[in-house]
Amino acid sequence: MARIDGPLGDALTDLLELGFADLYLQPGPPLPAAAAPPRPEPAPPPPEPVAVEQAAPPPPAPASSETRLASLDQLAAEAQVCESCRLCRTRNKVVFGSGDPRAALMFVGEGPGAEEDRQGLPFVGPAGELLTKIIQAIGLDRNQVYIANVVKCRPPGNRDPRPDEAAACRRFLDGQIAAIQPKVIVALGRVAAQTLLGTDLPLGQMRGRWFSVQGRPVRVTYHPAALLRTPAWKRPTWEDMQLVRDRLAEGAREAV
C-alpha cells in the first residue's frame, strides 16, 4: 500500500494500528473526469445539543491550582490506607489513578484488574494497551491525560464493583474530578458510566449524548476490554473519541 507522508499519513498509521483499517481503506467513489467548478464551503453543522444531567451536587471547588494538587496528593494518601469497604481485604495494591493532574482529559474506568492490582497503576493490562492507542489516536500521549477508576481496589475475580463499594469509593473519584478539573471526562463502559452518572440507563442510551458531572462534560464510550472481545465496536468508539477531541479543541480555543 502506498505510504502517505506527513501528518495525514501519521494519523492513518495510528488508526490502522488501532484497528480501524476497515473504515479508512475502503475505496471511495470514482473521481470526476474534469475538475468541477469551485463550490462555496458548506456551512458547519449546528453544535450538538448538550444533555446536561447532574449525578450529584458538585463539591466546592478548591481555590488555587496548588491547593487542588495538594488535595489530590492528600486523597491519594488516604486511599492508600482506606478500609471503607470489603475490597481492602483482598487487594494487593490500591490503584488511585495516574497521569497529568492538570490534564484536560480524564478517563474513568470500572476498577483495577489483576495486572493493575499487581502494579498499583490503572489500565496497564491488555485493555490498558488498547486505551493507550485510543488516546494516541486523538493526538495525545498517555501521560497527558488522567486515568482513574470508580473503585480503587480490585474486585475479586474482576466482578463488577458492588453499589456499596462504589459508594464507599465515591469521595475519591469526586475529589479527583474536583482537583483535576478536566475539560472533558470519558466514562469507559456501562459500569463506569452508570456509577459516575448515577443512572441505570443501558450503555446504548448513554452513548451518543453529553452528560455533566461537576459541571464538566462527560462522554460515554465502550470499555477497551469490550473492544478486545468485540472489535466491531472500535468504529463507534472512534466516532465517540472524535467528538471528545473536538470538544477538547473547543475548550482550547475558548482558553486562547
- The answer for residues whose C-beta is within 8 angstroms of residue 78's C-beta and 6 or more apart is 172
Q: Which of 19, 109, 161, 217 binds ligand URA (CB under 6 A)?
A: 109
Q: Which residue is nearest to ligand URA (CB)?
A: 109
Residue with smaller CB distance to ligand URA, 70 or 114: 114
CA distance from start to end of the chain: 40
Whether the CB-CB separation of 178 and 72 falls below 8 Å is answered with no
Whether the CB-CB separation of 109 and 192 falls below 8 Å is answered with yes
Query: Residue 248, Cα to own-chain centre: how many angstroms?
Result: 12
**Piece of 104-112, 163-171, 200-208, 240-248 that binds ligand URA (CB under 6 A):** 104-112
Residues 144-173 that bind ligand URA (CB under 6 A): 149
Minimal distance, residue 53 CB to ligand URA, in Å: 22
Residues 205-244 that bind ligand URA (CB under 6 A): 225
- The answer for residues whose C-beta is within 8 angstroms of residue 172's C-beta and 6 or more apart is 75, 78, 79, 82, 96, 152
Rounded Cα distance, 15 and 134, in Å: 9
Contact string 27-66 vs ligand URA (x = CB under 6 A): ----------------------------------------
Minimal distance, residue 174 CB to ligand URA, in Å: 18
Minimal distance, residue 168 CB to ligand URA, in Å: 17
Burial code of 118-143, b = ≥16 C-beta within 10 A, e = fewer?
ebbbbbbbebbebbbbbbebbebebe
Residue type, 252: A
**Piece of 43-51, 125-133, 138-146, 159-167 that binds ligand URA (CB under 6 A):** 125-133
**Piece of 75-83, 106-114, 172-180, 228-236 that binds ligand URA (CB under 6 A):** 106-114
Does 111 participate in binding ligand URA (rule CB under 6 A)? yes
**C-alpha torsion angle, residues 250, 251, 252, 256 (rounded to 10):** 100
Minimal distance, residue 127 CB to ligand URA, in Å: 5
- The answer for residues whose C-beta is within 8 angstroms of residue 49's C-beta and 6 or more apart is none
Does 123 participate in binding ligand URA (rule CB under 6 A)? yes
Does 110 participate in binding ligand URA (rule CB under 6 A)? yes
Residue with smaller CB distance to ligand URA, 79 or 127: 127
Question: For the chain, how are helix, strand and coil distributed in percent, rounded to 5?
Answer: 50, 10, 40
Positions that interact with ligand URA (CB under 6 A): 109-113, 116, 122-123, 125, 127-128, 149, 225
